[in-house]
Amino acid sequence: MTIDRAVFAFAGLVVLLGLALATWVHPYWALLSAFAGLNMFQAAFTGVCPAAMVFKRLGFKPGLLFK
C-alpha cells in the first residue's frame, strides 16, 4: 500500500468514526470529522500531511502525492 492510499483510508476512517461517535455518544464528536476535513483541505494546498509523515516513517511506499 502506498502512502497516498493509506492517508485516504485513514482520513475516511476518522471521518466515519467521528460521525458514528457523534450519532451514538455526543454531538461534539462531529468536531473530529471537521478536523479531518480541515486537515485534508490544508494538505491539498500545502502538500503537508501529518498522517503521511507517520506512514512514511512506518515504511509505506511513496505515492504520487506524498513522497
Dist. CA 11–CA 38, nearest whole Å: 11
Q: What is the pLDDT confidence band of residue 65, given thresholds at 50, 70 and 90?
A: confident
How confident is the model over 5-53, as pLDDT tens digits?
999 999 999 999 999 999 999 999 999 999 999 999 999 999 899 999 9
- Give the C-alpha separation, 13 to 2, whole Å: 17
Q: What is the pLDDT of residue 41?
A: 95
Q: What is the CA radius of gyration of the chain?
A: 13
DSSP 31: H
Alpha carbons 32 and 9: distance in angstroms, whole number: 16
Query: Against a cut of 0.85, is the pTM above it?
Result: yes
Q: Copy the grid coordinates of residue 26.
A: 455526543
Task: Give the largest CA-CA distance in the chain.
Answer: 37
